[in-house]
């Protein structure tokens, strides 16, 4: 495997290849293939960017036909046929059926740019700078998004003070007995708490990078009520948990809440093409033309695959049923692993097909994912100490491949724990 140029020329900032040092070349569905054609089962799927798998044949056909037609690839934010088709499809299949009257802002193609836009519009509309965010939250690495992100590894790289945010305890952060909404309410209500009245609250319903912590529906409803009570906007960052990952198109549907602002990215294009949007309640859409811009606002090939993915997967509720079935298979596989190793301190977390197997520490989780990789399963860790093994496999994965991956995880857990016990016995 010739990877010399990466050592020679790629910046040290590179990260994923350190855990998966393989030269990848091709991919299809839930499988990645290296240069020699060896397959690897992909339970990372672009950190939730490939909910419909790699190179979905029907989406690819639409994309190739579009390119072959010399249709617009780059069009700034001009009207194009592809953009019209995406907006009409998104309105018909996603927004209207859910009673959402939000307008769509096309931002630069990264998730963090959508978060920046969401924070800007919320602050400008409310005329306040403070935003509430949560422990273990992750919203991207540009400065505004970083200010509402918990992880010190990322925050410490900023090089400047990160302002305009106050961190609050997420659901369950202080233990099952502490009502964190009551705590936040108290701090906002108390004129001497030292907390500046926030413009908005930004939240992930399931914390993707922060450890697959899932907020309860009840907590999310009370958070929404808190926002209404104190005139704060509710921003749901659905960049990772959205597009079906938790079982419904938006991750907040189960809770029945109505966020003022929603960010979407990662799986939105359906094909791994960069594409991000902010959904904004129409009365909050006070942008002046071009106030938040970007050269790559709305990538036309991404509109094509995004619209095709919506048609293919979200025209009826079959896909949601399929996700619920697979989510249950993951849940019961993890429950089985925990039951087989009652003394290992394992637990499970997450919701839908965004689930985690939590280990007592990051060292054990890392050993398990390395063992899984030796069996050609690509699976990553998440959380403050990288202590959670997270499943982000394509939602379209076959039952056989899903089972295969879960079996590898189970096997890796057994192998690593047995190895540790043996070492302990020798010592
Ligand atoms: C990945 C992610 C982002 C940032 O998206 P980028 O495209 O990496 O900038 C923001 N919020 C959440 C919840 C994410 O998972």
* Cα 154 to ligand 1 centre (Å): 13
Report CA(238)–ligand 1 centroid distance (Å): 9
- Residue of 111, 241, 252, 294 to test ligand 1 pocket, by largest number of atoms within 8 Å of CB: 111
Residues enclosing ligand 1, CB less than 6 A?
A: 110-112, 115, 138-140, 204, 208-209, 237, 239-240, 265-266
Atom of ligand 1 nearest to the CA of 141: 9
The atom number, within ligand 1, closest to the CA of 145 reads 10
Structural contact between residues 249 and 205, judged by C-beta atoms closer than 8 angstroms: no
Q: Provide the residue count of the chain.
A: 427
How is domain 59-313 classified at the CATH fold level? 3.40.640
Beta sheet of 277-280, edge-to-edge order: 103-106, 277-280, 261-264, 233-237, 200-203, 131-134, 165-168
Report pLDDT for 1. Answer: 85
Atom of ligand 1 nearest to the CA of 207: 13
| Closest atom of ligand 1 to CA, residue 266 | 7
Q: Residues with Cβ < 8 Å from 185, sequence gap 6 or more? A: 226, 229, 230
Name the residue of 265, 273, 294, 392 whose CB sits within 8 Å of the most ligand 1 atoms, as the mutation to test its pocket. Answer: 265
d(CA 209, ligand 1 centre) in Å: 9
Nearest CA owner, ligand 1 atom 10: 139
Closest ligand 1 atom number to CA of residue 48 = 15
pLDDT of residue 210: 97
User: Measured on CA atoms in the order 10, 15, 18, 20, is the torsion positive or negative?
Assistant: negative
Sequence-separated (6 or more) residues with CB below 8 Å from residue 193: 186, 187
pLDDT digits (tens, 9 = 90+) for 338-354: 999 999 999 999 999 99
The pLDDT score that the predictor gives to residue 427 is 79
CA–centroid distance, 179 to ligand 1, in Å, is 28
Q: How far is the CA of 112 from the centre of ligand 1 (A)?
A: 6
* Rounded Cα gap, residues 414 and 427, in angstroms: 20
User: Cα(421) to centroid of ligand 1, in Å?
Assistant: 38
Distance 276 CA to ligand 1 centre (A): 10
Ligand 1 mutation target, pool 151, 239, 276, most atoms within 8 A of CB: 239
Domain with CATH 3.40.640.10 in the chain: 59-313
Could you list the beta-strand ranges (E) of 48-191.
Answer: 103-106, 131-134, 165-168
Query: Comparing C-alpha atoms, which of 102, 118, 122, 83 is closest to residue 297?
Result: 83
* Alpha carbon distance 122, 106 (integer Å): 16
293-298, long-range: CB < 8 A, 24+ apart: 293/77, 294/107, 294/108, 294/109, 294/113, 295/76, 295/108, 296/74, 296/108, 296/109, 297/76, 297/77, 297/106, 297/107, 297/108, 297/109, 298/75, 298/77, 298/83, 298/106
Question: What pLDDT digit, counting tens, does each position of 214-261 carry?
Answer: 999 999 999 999 999 999 999 999 999 999 999 999 999 999 999 999
The answer to whether 363 and 339 have CB atoms below 8 angstroms apart is no
203: closest CA among 276, 129, 103, 132? 132
Report how far ligand 1's centroid is from the alpha carbon of 165 (Å).
18
Q: What are phi and psi of 320, to 5 degrees?
A: -60, -40
Percent of the chain with pLDDT over 90: 98
Tell me 97's DSSP state.
G
- Closest ligand 1 atom, residue 241 Cα: 13
Closest atom, ligand 1, to C-alpha of 209: 15
Domain 4-42+317-426, classified CATH 3.90.226.10, yes or no: no
Partner residues linked to 277 by β-bridges: 106, 264
Distance (angstroms) between ligand 1 centre and the Cα of 18 equals 20
Task: Give span(s): CATH 3.90.1150.10, the chain.
Answer: 4-42+317-426
* Dist. CA 119 → ligand 1 center (Å): 14
Choose among 425, 426, 411: nearest CA to 341.
411
End-to-end CA distance of the chain, in Å? 38
**Residue 350 burial (CB count, 10 A):** 28
Secondary structure letter of residue 198 according to DSSP: P
Q: What are phi and psi of 203, to 5 degrees?
A: -145, 145
Residue with CA nearest ligand 1 atom 6: 111
Residue 34 near residue 22 (C-beta atoms within 8 A): yes
Give the atom of ligand 1 at the shortest distance from the alpha carbon of 137. Answer: 13
Indicate the pTM of the whole model.
Answer: 0.98
Task: Quote the ligand 1 centre to 329 CA distance (angstroms).
Answer: 27
Write out the chain's pLDDT in tens, 427 residues.
Answer: 899 999 999 999 999 999 999 999 999 999 999 999 999 999 999 999 999 999 999 999 999 999 999 999 999 999 999 999 999 999 999 999 999 999 999 999 999 999 999 999 999 999 999 999 999 999 999 999 999 999 999 999 999 999 999 999 999 999 999 999 999 999 999 999 999 999 999 999 999 999 999 999 999 999 999 999 999 999 999 999 999 999 999 999 999 999 999 999 999 999 999 999 999 999 999 999 999 999 999 899 999 999 999 999 999 999 999 999 999 999 999 999 999 999 999 999 999 999 999 999 999 999 999 999 999 999 999 999 999 999 999 999 999 999 999 999 999 999 999 999 999 888 7
Pocket test for ligand 1, best of 150, 170, 240 (most atoms within 8 A of CB): 240
């Amino acid at each position: 495997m010739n990877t010399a140029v990466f050592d020679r020329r790629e910046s040290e900032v590179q990260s994923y290849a350190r855990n998966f040092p393989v030269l990848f070349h091709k991919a299809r569905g839930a499988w990645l293939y290296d240069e020699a054609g060896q397959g690897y089962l992909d339970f990372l799927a672009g950190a939730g960017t490939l909910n419909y798998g790699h190179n979905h044949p029907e989406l690819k056909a639409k994309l190739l036909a579009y390119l072959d037609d010399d249709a617009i690839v780059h069009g700034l934010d001009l009207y194009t046929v592809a953009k019209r088709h995406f907006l009409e499809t998104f309105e018909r299949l996603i927004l209207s059926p859910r009673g959402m009257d939000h307008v769509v802002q096309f931002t630069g193609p990264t998730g963090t740019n959508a978060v920046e836009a969401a924070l800007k519009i919320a602050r400008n509309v409310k005329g306040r700078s403070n935003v509430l965010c949560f422990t273990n939250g992750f919203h991207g690495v540009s400065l505004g998004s970083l200010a509402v992100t918990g992880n010190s590894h990322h925050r410490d790289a900023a090089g400047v003070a990160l302002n305009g945010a106050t961190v609050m305890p997420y659901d369950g952060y202080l233990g099952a007995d502490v009502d964190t909404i009551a705590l936040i309410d108290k701090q906002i209500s108390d004129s001497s708490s030292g907390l500046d009245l926030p413009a908005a609250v930004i939240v992930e319903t399931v914390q993707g990078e922060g450890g697959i912590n899932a907020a309860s529906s009840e907590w999310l409803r009370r958070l929404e009520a808190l926002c209404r009570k104190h005139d704060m906007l509710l921003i749901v960052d659905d960049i990772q948990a959205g597009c079906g990952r938790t079982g419904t198109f938006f991750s907040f549907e189960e809770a029945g809440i109505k966020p003022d602002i929603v960010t979407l990215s990662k799986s939105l294009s359906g094909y791994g093409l960069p594409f991000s949007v902010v959904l904004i309640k129409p009365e909050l859409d006070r942008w002046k033309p071009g106030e938040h811009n970007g050269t790559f606002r709305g990538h036309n090939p991404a509109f094509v695959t995004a619209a095709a993915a919506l048609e293919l997967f979200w025209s009826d509720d079959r896909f949601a049923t399929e996700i619920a079935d697979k989510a249950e298979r993951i849940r019961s596989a993890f429950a089985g692993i925990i039951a087989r190793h009652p003394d290992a301190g394992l637990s499970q977390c997450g919701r839908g097909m965004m689930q985690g197997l939590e280990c007592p520490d990051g060292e054990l989780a890392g050993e398990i994912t390395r063992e899984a990789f030796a069996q050609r399963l690509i699976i990553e860790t998440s959380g403050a100490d990288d202590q959670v093994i997270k499943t982000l496999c394509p939602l379209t994965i076959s039952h056989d491949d899903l089972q295969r991956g879960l079996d590898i995880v189970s096997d890796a857990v057994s192998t690593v724990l047995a190895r540790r016990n043996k070492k302990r016995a020798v010592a």
